[in-house]
Each structure stands twice: as structure tokens, then as C-alpha cells.
């Protein structure tokens, strides 16, 4: 977005404006309904140090090892892929997930096993079979989607959807063997939060999955605020990122998509006021 085509604007003022803008975004775009989720975001914003850059999310995250080896089904593939999902800031009780090729190695990952009840048994939760796209350029292609219920702070339950889009052939061309990407959404009561473009770690063994970085859902988020000057014009952007590196793309409730307002303030006066676009 373009703001203030003015030559005399200086970097420290841009940073101050960005912080004020982010606070406005929080107040008008993310105020309620999810208290725990929003409070973490605001806390991370107010604790930001202007003179020191820090990573938007942490890459290392230890999962507490399960006491007993989990029970596993007989897989169709010789190369099943393992990963863990944890919930909230604490990330306790990892949910083990496995993606399998039911028709044999090399036929395509089309089913998944999720330990939804977190009892260390992958055989008593039922098999999730991926659907296929029914129309368009991807007709007939598998759609690797996980839909399940999980915990969320202050709520009895929340609906989660996780799509691993890099499992599809069209996304594998320029990726390394261990690179996978995903997007996910959180549904709680009448609200929906949709995050995009995160990297997921998938492993060839259970031991590696338990030692590696899991997918973290409904956990801590931080503001990613950027500003730059180009052609004597100022550009400011603010995004909310989770610990997976996913950016918040959409916040919605029944019948509408919430769009926060960004205000650019100079000398105590609102110079520009525009609707933001998520992501």
C-alpha cells in the first residue's frame, strides 16, 4: 500500500508508525472473540524491541517422548511419513500423525492415521482417506487434508483443518526430498482463522518425528512489521505469524470477512486510513 509520497520522512518515524498501526490492527481487527489467542499476539507486540531484530518464530521445539512405543497399523507403503501436532503455547501431549500410501510404495499418499484421542494407539481412531478434487485443473488429484477436533485455551473444543499441499505432484518439482508445506485453519464458535505458507517437518521414522520440530496449532503468534521507502514513497506492512511461520490470511465470522483498518498518523493527525488485506 502507498502512503505519504514525501521526501523528508525518516526511518525511526516509520518504525513508530508501524507499531502504532499494528496496535490499531489489533484493536479493530482482532479484538475478541478468542481471548487467549489475541492476548498472546498483543503481548508479543508490546514486548517488541525496536533496536533489535528477532525471529518471528522459533524453529526448535522439543516434544516430550512418549513413555511407551505407540501401536501402529500395517502400512501399505514402505516409506510412511511421520509428524507430530501439538496445541497451544505449552505444546503438551503430542498427537502423532502418519501419512501412508494404501496402494503401495510410489502410488501416492492417500490416507492418514491420527492419534486424535492421544492414547498412543494409531489403530483405534479410524483411517482418514484423502478426497480428490472434483473439477478444475487439479481434477482427480488427491487433496491431503486433515480435519479433526483439538484443544484450545478457554474452550471445550476447536475445529482444526490442516492441508499438506506439497504432497501433491504439482508442488514437488522444485522441492527437496524432505521439504513439505502446509496451511491450516482454526474454527472456534462462529469464528474462523486461516493461516498460510508454513513449513512442516515430516520424517521417515517415528523416533525422528518425536525428536524433530512439530506443527504447532493455536499457539503463540507475533507481529511481523516491515517498512521501506521506494521512489520517495513510504510502504508499511504488518502481519501476524505463528510459530510455524504461517501468516494469518483471513479472519471471518458468519457472512463477512473481518478487515482491520490501518491508520497512518503524523504529528497527531490521521493522514491516511485504509482497509488492510490479510496476508
pLDDT, tens digit, 9 for 90 and up, residues 182-213: 999 999 988 899 999 988 989 999 888 888 88
Domain holding 90, by residue range, is 1-279
Q: How many domains does the chain have?
A: 1
- Encode burial over 11-48: b for 16+ CB neighbours within 10 A, e otherwise: eeebbebbbebbbbbbeebbeeebeebbebbbebbeeb
Spatial CA neighbour of 195 closest among 204, 206, 187: 187
3-state SS of 30-96 is CCCCCHHHHHHHHHHHHCCCCCCCCCCCCCCCCCCCCCCCCECCCCCCCCCEEEEEEECCCCEEEEE
The mean pLDDT value of the chain amounts to 76
Which range of 49-53, 259-263, 264-268 scores highest in mean pLDDT? It is 264-268
pLDDT at 107 over 80: yes
* Predicted TM-score of the model (pTM): 0.70
Amino acid at each position: 500500500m502507498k502512503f505519504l509520497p514525501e521526501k523528508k520522512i525518516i526511518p525511526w518515524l516509520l518504525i513508530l508508525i508501524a507499531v502504532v498501526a499494528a496496535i490499531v490492527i489489533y484493536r479493530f481487527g482482532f479484538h475478541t472473540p478468542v481471548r487467549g489467542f489475541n492476548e498472546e499476539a498483543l503481548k508479543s507486540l508490546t514486548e517488541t524491541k525496536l533496536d533489535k531484530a528477532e525471529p518471528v518464530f522459533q524453529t526448535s521445539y522439543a516434544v516430550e517422548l512418549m513413555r511407551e512405543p505407540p501401536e501402529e497399523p500395517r502400512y501399505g507403503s514402505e516409506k510412511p511419513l511421520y509428524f507430530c501436532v501439538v496445541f497451544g503455547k505449552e505444546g503438551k501431549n503430542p498427537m502423532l500423525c502418519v501419512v501412508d500410501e494404501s496402494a503401495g510404495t510410489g502410488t501416492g499418499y492417500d490416507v492418514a492415521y491420527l492419534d486424535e484421542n492421544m492414547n498412543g494407539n494409531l489403530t483405534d481412531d479410524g483411517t482418514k482417506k484423502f478426497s480428490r478434487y472434483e473439477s478444475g485443473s487439479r481434477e482427480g488429484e488427491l487433496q491431503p487434508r486433515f480435519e479433526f477436533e483439538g484443544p484450545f485455551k478457554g474452550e471445550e473444543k476447536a475445529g482444526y483443518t490442516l492441508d499438506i499441499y506439497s504432497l501433491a505432484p504439482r508442488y514437488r518439482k522444485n522441492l527437496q526430498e524432505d521439504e513439505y508445506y502446509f496451511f491450516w485453519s482454526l474454527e472456534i464458535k462462529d469464528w474462523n482463522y486461516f493461516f498460510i505458507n508454513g513449513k512442516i517437518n515430516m520424517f521417515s521414522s517415528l523416533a525422528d518425528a518425536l525428536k524433530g520440530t512439530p506443527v504447532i496449532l493455536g499457539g503463540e503468534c507475533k507481529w511481523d512489521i516491515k517498512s521501506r521507502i521506494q521512489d520517495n514513497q513510504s510502504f508499511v506492512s504488518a502481519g501476524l505469524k505463528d510459530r510455524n511461520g504461517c501468516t494469518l490470511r483471513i479472519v471471518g465470522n458468519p457472512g463477512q470477512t473481518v478487515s482491520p483498518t490501518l491508520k497512518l498518523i503524523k504529528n497527531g493527525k490521521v493522514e491516511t486510513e485504509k482497509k488492510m488485506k490479510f496476508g
